[in-house]
Amino acid sequence: MSSSEDDTPLVKGRTENGVKSQDRIPRAVDEDMDKQLPSNGHVEPGVSIRMGPVEEMEVDPPAATNATGKRKARSSLTNGRTYKEESSSEDDKPINKRRRTSQQTKKAAPQDSDDEASDVPLVAIRKPPKVTAAQIGESSDSDTPLTEKLVKDKEKIEKAAAKEAKSIRSKEKAPPKRKQKVESESEDDVPLVAKKKPAPKRASNGVKKPKVESDSDVPLAKKAPAKKANAKGKAQAATPAKKGKAKAKAEQKTEEDNEAQEEEEEYRWWEDPGQGDGSKKWSTLEHSGVVFPPEYEPLPKNVKLIYDGVPVTLHKDAEEVATFYGSMLNSTVNVENPTFNKNFFEDFVAILDKTGHGKDKDGKTVKIKKFEKCDFKPIFEYFDAERAKKKALSAAEKKALKAEKEADEAPYMYCMWDGRKQKVGNFRVEPPGLFRGRGEHPKTGRVKKRVVPEQITINIGKEAKVPEPPAGHNWKEIKHDQTGTWLAMWQENINGAYKYVMLAANSDIKGQSDYKKFEKARELKKHIDTIRKDYRRDLKSEKMADRQRATAIYLIDQFALRAGNEKGEDEADTVGCCSLKYEHVTLKPPHFVIFDFLGKDSIRFYDEVQVDPQVFKNLKIFKKAPKTTGDDIFDRLTTSALNKHLNNYMAGLTAKVFRTYNASWTMARLLREMKVTGSIPEKVKEYNDANRQVAILCNHKRTVAAGHAGSIEKMQEKINGLVYQVWRTKQMMIDIDPKIKKKRGADFFARPEELDNEWVLQHIDALVEEQRQKITKKFEKENEKLKADGEKEMKPKELDERLKVAEDLGKKMRKEHKTGKVEAEGKGPTVEKMEANIEKLNQRIETMKVQMEDKEGNKEVALGTSKINYIDPRLTVVFSKKFNVPIERFFSKTLREKFDWAIKSVDQDWEF
DNA sequence: CTATGTTAATCAGGGAATTTGAA
DNA sequence: CTTCAAATTCCCTGATTAACATA
């Protein structure tokens, strides 16, 4: 921690704007942040001005701390209310964020009480932009704060339990289904064997077939039986009685197959102490190179781009670009993006200029000048039809096609890495197309060119046979770089980015780095206290650079921000911690901060949090005039400086480790606190809830499904229908026993307000319509049958007759609604029976409500990313073992493969 | 800047869950 | 009313590749 270095003014400071923050924070600033500073409050580097004891710095008015203030601040949070009620923007806030706020504010331990408000005029508080409506979706949330919902989790479970239990029952009751599933599973696994089997066959015509494949294949098959007993024993041990017999058996079988294969050569690298400490990643490496996408197939003669009403013939290369666009007309995200269209058209015209423009049917040149005059519809329709054709193929044909493709690609799917067979990840060269940069990427829509072998560098063992480039071509270069983990590489034409062919996630090498990642995060545990202590101290450092750094680490640690490297002009304008700009952080006295910015992938990060008063103060300083919109908040901090500092605490510690650490730590805590006693589905739900909290912490989002609003509405309608049914049943009670009205009170029998007259009438109409539809459908079907049997059809009059049932229903219900009297239904109706019915209905209403809330709260949270990248898989394995839930409930097949090391390496006492 | 890994959302396809229909 | 199968909807997975972090 060489402070002199931190001290040095950074070249990178935003001096262009004349905005330069002072190296040191003059006391005056801290005490009176209002006071304008000279824009060049620059102090000679190296001349350390001691500003007196740190304590003095916090003697600012707000720092007149006391325990009361502290408690006050806390309590106002704990119930998650005080702040919420003040928050004018609450309704605009995404639902998951609300939960986040309440949960996270708790995290930020307030230290000093703070009446900063009096101290400084408020920085303008921005409301969250309305733009976000789409992202946020219609917050149909009631006024129930989600905090409360969290607290009510237990209740939820109980309610959900009914449903879940049902689903178990149905599962257990349906052996055929299960069997089917098992079969398909085993079928799924078989190809693993089969996949490799066709390979040798193909070798004869493929020529390229490396002997690697067959080498590994043969012994596998031979040795397999030896392991069987072992595998069987394991499978049984791991999955005690719980499982249905059929399933257990089938699974055992497939696992056998798998394990027989995998385990044969299994290298339990996580038990190998000397593993992976050098930079040399392999000694021998054999592989077959890459698969190129198919050549462009010209459109049929009758399918053409139409320009200005004229069908035009294009040169093959230009036509290909036209098809890139034409085939994606249904992708509104792109086609309606002006930048996308502009970029595409620019590149399209460039190609046309090179290859010649279009020709009409007489061979006359048609110059393509205006995007608006291009009509790609015929091309789109052609592709659409092709897609449909493919879809319409019979299952057998599809299977055959798939098998063929697999056979062709088989040689590329695996490589030999230090003699062990390993799966390759992305062995297919990315096909040409239009670049789909996310967010407002300035280059979105540009043509991503076809990659030729001459661009591709191959990395392979010295002794290995170099894969043949396609006929008539050469590789760019052959390397034998043992420090690299890639097999092939090329540079893409849009951003000049490097693309690597590497091993699959389930490979040893990837597993090892995954393992190391989590071990590193675990190691952070040992240092986190020191780090936190230090940054809290440095929040008050008199050196601007230190103070900024401390503040940044605080944010990264507390709110899981990313590091935030600087970005170039031709990239989407997104930020992380170090690149936060003036407008991304809004201060809201006394010590709330609103973050609102676009993070990685242009995903919005919006959060209102409570921060340490000193952090609040610091941010205010960092935002001080003359800084304004567009200026860096951390103008004296770079990610590399930050990481360099972190590295002092622990080798290899960087900003991103905090995300891993906090995510896994959070998960560990949640799982530890969990004492579930319920059924397996209940436990799974609990796990998922914890997973969700981590996802929220990391701000992992997904786009709201297209039909989401609709399905929520549908659910709400269903609930309302049930509520109405409850009302009807209650009236039946009166019908049976008029005296009961007095006994139970009028309130009990009142129709809930949300079901107003208009709604009821509409509801009745809907019910009637539903009935009519049903009856009509049935009628038509019967008629069809009669016709098929050669008998004469029923007359339309018959239908009318039948439809009367529906009409009668409508009449009856409208009358009920008008009079408020409902005749008791069912045989031998009694008050008790009605009560029971109501109970049942209410039960259903409750479960549906829970379901709906879950769905709503989930609509934009993606659980997968945290599960794949942030949550130490060993936590899940431990949970699975401890609570006796099969790991399959948490990890899909691919994840089980990826986390093989975790599944095999821990027992239930392991801790993160 | 270059190079190499890691993390991330999206999309299409398919399997699972649910509903519907018929016996 | 139950059961079973077909139809439909829903949701998860896996593949893809962009976008980040880091040295």
Q: For residue range A217-255, what is the model confidence (pLDDT) as tens digits? A: 323 223 333 333 333 333 333 333 333 333 333 334 343
Neighbours of A351 (CB within 10 A): 19
Alpha helices in A8-152 (DSSP H): 27-31, 54-57, 67-78, 82-86, 95-107, 116-119, 133-136, 146-151
| Strand B and A869 CB separated by under 7 Å | yes
Look at residue A72 and tell me whether its pLDDT is greater than 70.
Answer: no
What is the pLDDT, as a whole number, of residue A434? 96
Asked whether strand C has any atom less than 7 Å from the CB of A854, the reply is: no
| Contact between residue A71 and residue A109 where contact means Cβ atoms under 8 Å apart | no
Residue A661 within a domain: no
Q: Which protein residue has its CA closest to C1' of C18?
A: A437
- Does a cis peptide bond (omega within 30 degrees of 0) precede residue A38? no
Q: Give the separation between CA A760 and CA A462, rounded to whole angstroms.
A: 79
For residue A784, give its domain range.
Answer: 708-858
Of A529-538, A682-691, A839-848, A897-906, the one with minimum mean pLDDT is A839-848
Nucleotide nearest to A502 (CA to C1'): B5
Rounded CA separation A382/A300 (Å): 9
Q: Is the CB of A640 under 7 A from strand C?
A: yes
Give A558 CA → B2 C1' in Å: 33
Distance A833 CA to C15 C1' (A): 55
Please, is A875 exposed, middle or buried when counting C-beta atoms within 10 Å of its C-beta (0-12, 13-18, 19+)? buried
Q: Which amino acid is at A436?
A: R
Confidence at residue A462, expressed as pLDDT on a 0 to 100 scale: 95
Q: Are residues A331 and A469 in the same domain?
A: no
Sheet bearing A604-610, strands edge to edge: A585-588, A592-598, A604-610
The nucleotides of chain C lying under 7 Å from a protein CB are 5, 9-23
Query: A859 near A708, Cβ under 8 Å?
Result: yes
**Amino acid identity, position A291:** V
Q: Which residues contact A509 (CB under 8 A, 6 or more apart)?
A: A281, A282, A417, A422, A485, A503
Q: Is residue A720 part of a domain?
A: yes
Higher pLDDT: A708 or A156? It is: A708
CA of A437 to C1' of C19 (A): 9
Q: Is the pLDDT of residue A872 over 50?
A: yes
pLDDT bin (cut points 50, 70, 90) of residue A204 is: very low
Q: What is the pLDDT of residue A365?
A: 95
Report yes or no on A722 lying in a domain: yes
Nearest nucleotide relative to A893: CA against C1' = C13
| Domain shared by A852 and A712, yes or no | yes
pLDDT at A595: 97
pLDDT of A210 above 60: no
Highest mean pLDDT among A172-181, A784-793, A818-827: A818-827
Instruction: Round and report the angstrom distance from CA (A452) to C1' (B2).
Output: 22
Q: Report helix, strand or coil for A52.
A: coil
What average pLDDT does this structure show over A39-47?
Answer: 30
* Cis amide bond preceding A626, omega within 30: yes
Residues A770 and A839 in one domain: yes
Question: Do A325 and A440 share a domain, yes or no?
Answer: no
Instruction: Report which residue is nearest nucleotide C13 when distances run from CA to C1'.
Output: A892
Length of chain A: 912
Tell whether A527 is covered by a domain: no
Q: How many Å from the CA of A853 to C1' of B16?
A: 22
Give the pLDDT of residue A291: 96
Answer for A510: CB within 7 Å of strand B: yes
Q: Per the structure block, which two tokens stand in for A407?
A: 């056979």
Write the CA distances from A705 to A46, A333, A615, A861, integer angstroms: 56, 14, 38, 11
Of chain A, the percentage scoring pLDDT greater than 70 comes to: 70
For residues A78 and A308, give the distance between their C-alpha atoms in angstroms, rounded to a whole number.
65
CB A430 within 7 Å, strand C: yes
Rounded Cα distance, A787 and A45, in Å: 97
CA of A578 to C1' of B9 (A): 23
Tell me what pLDDT residue A26 has.
52
For residue A858, the model assigns a pLDDT of 87
The predicted pLDDT at position A388 comes to 84
Phi-psi region of A701 (alpha: psi -120 to 50; beta: other; left: phi over 0): beta
Average pLDDT estimate for A847-857:
84
DSSP line for A803-829 = HHHHHHHHHHHHHHHHH------SSS-
Residue A644 pLDDT more than 70? yes
Range 301-340, chain A: CB under 7 Å to any strand B atom: 331, 333
Residues 31-90/A with CB within 7 Å of nucleic chain B are none
CB of A213 within 8 A of CB of A200?
A: yes
Averaged confidence pLDDT in chain A: 75
Query: How distant is C1' of B20 from CA of A666, in Å?
Result: 44
Please write the tens of the pLDDT for every residue from A586-628: 999 999 999 999 999 999 999 999 999 999 999 999 999 899 9
Query: Residues 154-193, chain A: which have Cβ under 7 A from strand C?
Result: 176
Percent of chain A predicted with pLDDT > 90: 46
User: For strand C, which residues in window 689-748 of chain A come within 7 Å by CB?
Assistant: 705, 707, 711, 714
pLDDT band at residue A780 using 50, 70 and 90 as cut-offs: confident
- Determine whether the distance from the CB of A857 to the nearest atom of strand C is below 7 Å: no
A436 touches strand C (CB under 7 A): yes
- Mean pLDDT, residues A812-816: 89
A654 touches strand C (CB under 7 A): yes
The yes-or-no answer on residue A870 being catalytic is yes
If asked whether residues A712 and A854 sit together in one domain, one would say yes
Residues A318 and A384 grouped into a single domain: yes
* From A65-69, A281-285, A309-313, the region with the lowest mean pLDDT: A65-69
Q: Is residue A592 within 8 Å of A610, Cβ to Cβ? A: yes
Q: Is the CB of A603 under 7 A from strand B?
A: yes
Rounded to an integer, the average pLDDT of A756-767 is 87
A664 CA → C7 C1’, Å = 43
pLDDT number for residue A439:
92
* A461: CB within 7 A of chain C nucleic strand: no
Query: According to the model, what pLDDT value does residue A773 have?
Result: 78
Q: Which residue has the higher pLDDT, A120 or A733?
A: A733
Alpha carbons A856 and A852: distance in angstroms, whole number: 6
A769 — pLDDT class (breaks 50, 70, 90): confident
Alpha helices (H) along A20-65: 27-31, 54-57
Which residue in A374, A372, A493, A370 sits closest to A443, CA to CA? A493
CA-to-CA distance for A790 and A792, rounded, in angstroms?
7
- Please check whether residues A453 and A354 belong to one and the same domain: no
Q: Which residues 891-910 in chain A have a CB closer than 7 A to strand C?
A: 892-895
Q: Which of A830, A858, A886 is the last residue of a domain?
A: A858
Nucleic strand B under 7 Å from the C-beta of A685: no
**Residue A473 Cα to chain centre, angstroms:** 40
* A754, part of any domain: yes
State whether A386 and A416 are in the same domain.
Answer: no
Tens of pLDDT, residues A484-528:
999 999 999 999 999 999 999 999 999 999 999 999 999 999 999
Query: Which pLDDT score, from 0 to 100, does residue A157 have?
Result: 34
The domain that holds A315 is classified in CATH as 1.10.10.41
Residues 375-434/A with CB < 7 A to strand B = 387, 390-391, 398
CA of A178 to C1' of B18 (A): 16
pLDDT of residue A103: 37
Q: Is the confidence at residue A131, as pLDDT, over 80?
A: no
| pLDDT tens readout for residues A407-442 | 999 999 999 999 999 999 999 999 999 999 999 999
Bases of chain B within 7 A of a CB of the protein: 1-18, 21-22
Nucleotide nearest to A498 (CA to C1'): B3
Residue A24 is predicted with a pLDDT of 59
Residue A759 inside a domain? The answer is yes
Helix axes of A245-264 and A175-196: crossing angle, nearest 10 degrees: 10
Among A474, A506, A538, identify where a domain stops.
A506
Is A32's pLDDT higher than 50? Answer: no
Nearest-CA residue relative to C1' of B7: A869
Does residue A625 sit in helix, strand or coil?
coil
Band the pLDDT of A289: cuts 50, 70, 90: very high
Report residue A415: phi and psi, to 5°: -135, 170
**A749 and A803 inside one domain:** yes
Whether residue A331 is found in the same domain as residue A419: no
Query: Which helix (H) or strand (E) segment is A120 a member of?
Result: none
Predicted local distance difference test score (pLDDT) of residue A712 = 87
Is the C-beta atom of A562 closer than 7 angstroms to strand C?
A: yes
Mean pLDDT in residue range A319-346: 93
**What CA–CA distances, in Å, run from A663 to A63, A514, A580, A689, A868?**
32, 15, 22, 14, 12
User: A821 beta carbon < 7 A from strand C?
Assistant: no
CATH number at residue A430: 2.170.11.10
Are residue A835 and residue A739 in the same domain, yes or no?
yes
Q: Pick out the nucleotide with least CA–C1' distance to A391.
A: B13
User: Would you give the end-to-end CA distance of chain A in angstroms?
Assistant: 29
How many domains does chain A contain in total?
3
In a domain, A636, yes or no: no
Active-site residue among A307, A535, A661, A870? Answer: A870
> Comparing C-alpha atoms, which of A650, A673, A654 is closest to residue A875?
A673
**Separation between the CA of A514 and the C1’ of B6 (whole angstroms):** 10
The rounded distance, in Å, linking the Cα atoms of A708 and A718 is 15
Give the per-residue pLDDT at A682: 84
| A659 CB contact with strand C at below 7 Å | no
Q: What is the pLDDT of residue A638?
A: 96
Task: Confirm whether any atom of chain B, the nucleic acid strand, is less than 7 Å from CB of A486.
Answer: yes
Q: Is the CB of A826 under 7 A from strand C?
A: no
Residue A701 is given by DSSP the state: B
Residue A870 scores a pLDDT above 90 = yes
Which residue, A342, A359, A392, sits at the end of a domain? A392
pLDDT score, position A593: 97
Task: Determine if strand B comes within 7 Å of the CB of A598.
Answer: no
Q: Which helix (H) or strand (E) segment is A424 a member of?
A: none
**Same-domain status, A724 and A852:** yes
- Whether the CB of A211 is less than 7 Å away from nucleic strand B comes out as no
Q: Is residue A371 part of a domain?
A: yes
Q: Say whether the CB atom of A702 is under 7 angstroms from strand B.
A: yes
